[in-house]
Amino acid sequence: MYKQVLQKKVKKIGIGFNIIAALVLLLIGTNSVLVSYIKYGNEAIKQLNDIISVATRLENDKIKIEQVINSFQEIIGGYGVKFYGIVSLYRTYDEISRTIKGFSLDFVPAKSENYIIKLPITLKGKIKNKELILAMTEYLQTHNYPFVTISSIMLKMGEKDLDIVMSGEIISYDLKSIL
Amino acid sequence: MIYVLQKETHFDVLIPRGKGSLSFQKYKASDYNELNNVLSKIKEKHVAVLGRFPSFLNELITIPKVKENLLQKLILREAKNRFSNIKAPILTHKKLTDITKEGVTFNQVFLCVIETEETDEILSAIVSAGKECVYISILSLVLSQIIKGYLESENCFVACDLPHEKVFMLFSPNDLSLVRIIPSETKGFDLIDYENINQTISFCRESLRIFPSKVLFYTPAKDTVDFSKSIIPSELLTIGSGKDELEEDYIEKTILEFLDKKFKELTWTNFLPSAYLTAKKKLKVYSGVFLFGSLVAAVMFYYVFTNGIKAKQTMEEVGLFERRVQAMLPVFEEYKKAKDRLDKFLPVIDFHNRILSARQVYPVMDSVLNFFDNKYRISEVDAKREDAGITVRIKGTVVAEGIGFILQDFDKLIEALSKNPGFKIIQSSIDVKTKNFSIVIQASN
């Protein structure tokens, strides 16, 4: 009879052990899922952190870009924003034509490339002495947006006069289109 | 330890009041069910039983001296032969002092046996009560071990007067060699008892060839002892101080006190059935495995719990980072817009910088012309901005007469121009016949 009682106890413990074994398996499975999730989560955090680092860097870069653009705008004195189009170049052309009398001024159509508008000019004429060239170049370079650059000066000495050919460009920036 | 004493009509359940205490708390149980109920109410787990097993038999055997492992087999075989009337025996034995007969040495073994089924009911009562039986024996065997300590080194015959029985023991000289239990309801020794004593002594002499030198009477009724009735000299045996011997349960107390102290030394008197021991072992192994499993489950639960907390924290952290990234998404769009604007601005800025940093044509031309004094007549000047700098081409004539002077003045001019760090002579030539010269100078940016 005691054998039956002991066997019953053994059976009870056996059932208990099976339940515990199932519980252990369940816990192992749950733990594996949790560990995988933590691993995945940490990986995701790392990637998200990388994105945040990139975003922070890009934000700094954006600030630097804006500083560069603002500095340039400050240099050109806000001219770019007030740009009135290609007409303003021809106004400068007309003014030069009116101011430097006795010189011929070629008319060539203005060209626009990368928001830079250029109107090539060639001044031809005669002068008595070469000091006048300095006065002419200084006058041309007093223009500020559109401004004038001189790319070549050619002089030929005649008996009494100097033949002069001065080439350059009236230049303007179309910053309005960029902004 | 709980002690269960099986009496003629009931069970006494005794629990020491303290460790090593001689004072016992006593319960009575009239049958096995009641015993089970009494045991169920006691906290103590281990139980020692001193039962009444009518099938109890004992015998002194001699076996030729052999190796220990072979001796066990021989003992078993001898026991089967001698106790063939016992269906399922529980066997215990004790190896005694070797004897030599006619020059040959023999092992003397004292064998005890009881029928297995006689232990079933009491073990069932113990197991059902959730207790563990660690010892099961008969009172006489334990008592013999107590008496052994009070004997001198000679063959003795001891007659014990126990409640409801007379127990005769033979010691040769200190080894228990015979136990005989005779039911008896009288207190003290009467004529029949003396007859039985004398018959047993004769049996010892004739069959066992052991000659006890005296009979020791151990009884609380000392006045009933008549030394003249014994065939050999006799004495009274007193255990301990002897002052409590008149108490009703003095023998029980003495035995339980002895059992409590010497329990581990009495393994050979233990009649626990092997089936019970095996089942108990199995139960212990299963319990151990269950406990280990529970421990693993607890550890795993701890890991799941901590990892659960970690996972929750990770989830919250991921959510936090996701919200931060979500909030920063416009930054990418804004950067793209700014970059697009910069891409459009860059050619303008680059152009502007090149124009500002480039040298002016007229100052370069003027500084070149300053080298030409009245020794030279310039006919044509062409100053042009190129990628590398400003290139100035000059044509003219040398005023001097005579080839030597012409070349000297021209060389001087070239040398002066060359010394100017900002100028580089690209080409120079003079025709001494016409005195015309041509020079190309480059002023770097």
User: In this predicted complex, what is the ipTM?
Assistant: 0.77
Task: Please work out, in degrees rounded to the nearest 5, the angle formed at the alpha carbon of residue B417 by the alpha carbons of A127 and B368.
Answer: 20
If asked whether residues A112 and A68 sit together in one domain, one would say no
If asked whether residues B428 and B404 sit together in one domain, one would say yes
**Cis amide leading into A109 (omega within 30):** no
Residue B71 lies in a domain: no
What is the sign of the dihedral through the CA atoms of A91, A92, A93 and A94?
positive
Band of pLDDT at residue A22, cut at 50, 70 and 90: very high
- Enclosing H/E stretch for B75: helix B68-82
Contact B116, B135 (CB under 8 A): no
If asked whether residues B328 and B380 sit together in one domain, one would say no
**Of A91, A81, A86, whose CA–CA distance to A176 is shortest?**
A81
From CA A2, how far away is CA B279, in angstroms rounded? 10
First to last CA, chain A: 101
Whether residue A13 lies within 8 A of chain B, CB to CB, comes out as yes
Q: Which of B357, B390, B424 corresponds to the end of one domain?
A: B357
Chain A residue with minimum CA distance to B356: A149
Q: Which of A40, A75, A110 corresponds to the end of one domain?
A: A75
- Enclosing H/E stretch for B354: helix B274-357
Residue B207 lies in a domain: no
Number of domains in chain A: 2
If asked whether residues A24 and A52 sit together in one domain, one would say yes
If asked whether residues A57 and A95 sit together in one domain, one would say no
- Whole-number pLDDT of residue B246: 47
| Pairwise CB contact (< 8 Å): A153 & B328 | no
Q: Can you tell me whether residue B388 is helix, strand or coil?
A: coil
Model confidence over A39-69: pLDDT tens digits? 999 999 999 999 999 999 999 999 999 998 8
Test the B interface: residue of A60, A65, A70, A117 with most B CBs within 10 Å: A65
Whether residue A32 lies within 8 A of chain B, CB to CB, comes out as no
From CA B249, how far away is CA B142, in angstroms rounded? 15
Please tell me which residue, A154 or B388, carries the higher pLDDT value.
A154
Among the partner residues A31, A41, A114, nearest to B348 by beta-carbon distance: A114
| Pairwise CB contact (< 8 Å): B286 & A17 | yes
Can you give the residue range of the structural domain that contains B296?
A: 273-357
From CA A162, how far away is CA A129, in angstroms rounded? 7
Chain A residue with minimum CA distance to B276: A3
If asked whether residues B353 and B365 sit together in one domain, one would say no
Residue B305 lies in a domain: yes
If asked whether residues A98 and A136 sit together in one domain, one would say yes
If asked whether residues A112 and A166 sit together in one domain, one would say yes
If asked whether residues B369 and B384 sit together in one domain, one would say yes
Band of pLDDT at residue A155, cut at 50, 70 and 90: very high
If asked whether residues A52 and A91 sit together in one domain, one would say no
Can you give the residue range of the structural domain that contains A91?
A: 80-178
Among the partner residues B120, B310, B315, nearest to A2 by beta-carbon distance: B120
Residue B30 lies in a domain: no
Whether residue A7 lies within 8 A of chain B, CB to CB, comes out as yes
Q: Can you tell me whether residue B316 is helix, strand or coil?
A: helix
| Pairwise CB contact (< 8 Å): B307 & A38 | yes
SS (H, E, C) chain A: CHHHHHHHHHHHHHHHHHHHHHHHHHHHHHHHHHHHHHHHHHHHHHHHHHHHHHHHHHHHHHHHHHHHHHHHHHHCCCCHHHCCCCHHHHHHHHHHHHHCCCCEECCCCCEEECCEEEEEEEEEEEECCCHHHHHHHHHHHCCCCCEEEEEEEEEEECCCCEEEEEEEEEEEECHHHHC
From CA B310, how far away is CA A167, in angstroms rounded? 77
If asked whether residues B368 and B353 sit together in one domain, one would say no
CA B168, chain centre distance (Å): 52
How would you list the strands of the sheet with B165-171, edge to edge?
A: B176-183, B165-171, B156-162, B214-218, B234-236
Q: Which of A36, A55, A75 corresponds to the end of one domain?
A: A75
If asked whether residues B349 and B284 sit together in one domain, one would say yes
Please state whether the predicted TM-score (pTM) of the whole model is above 0.80: no
- Whole-number pLDDT of residue A151: 92
Question: How many Cβ atoms sit within 10 Å of the Cβ of residue B82?
Answer: 14
List the CATH number of the domain containing B389: 3.30.1360.100
**Cis amide leading into A146 (omega within 30):** yes
Residue B418 lies in a domain: yes
Distance from CA of A98 to the nearest CA of B (A): 22
Q: Which of B338, B357, B376 corresponds to the end of one domain?
A: B357
If asked whether residues B330 and B353 sit together in one domain, one would say yes
E strands, B33-191, are 46-51, 57-64, 89-95, 99-101, 104-115, 132-138, 156-162, 165-171, 176-183
Whether residue A57 lies within 8 A of chain B, CB to CB, comes out as no
**Of B11, B39, B14, B12, whose CA–CA distance to B24 is shortest?**
B14
Please tell me which residue, B75 or A78, carries the higher pLDDT value.
B75
| Pairwise CB contact (< 8 Å): A152 & B121 | no
pLDDT 10s digit of each residue in chain B, 445 long?
Answer: 899 999 888 899 988 877 666 677 888 999 999 999 999 998 888 999 999 899 999 999 888 888 888 888 888 888 888 888 888 889 999 888 888 878 888 888 999 999 998 998 899 999 989 899 999 999 889 989 888 888 887 889 999 988 888 999 999 877 899 999 998 888 888 889 999 999 999 999 998 888 999 999 988 888 888 888 888 898 888 876 655 554 556 677 788 888 888 888 888 899 999 888 888 888 889 899 999 999 999 999 999 999 999 999 999 999 999 999 999 889 999 999 999 988 988 888 888 888 888 888 889 998 999 899 889 999 999 999 988 889 999 999 999 999 999 999 999 999 999 998 888 999 999 998 999 999 999 998 6
Number of domains in chain B: 2
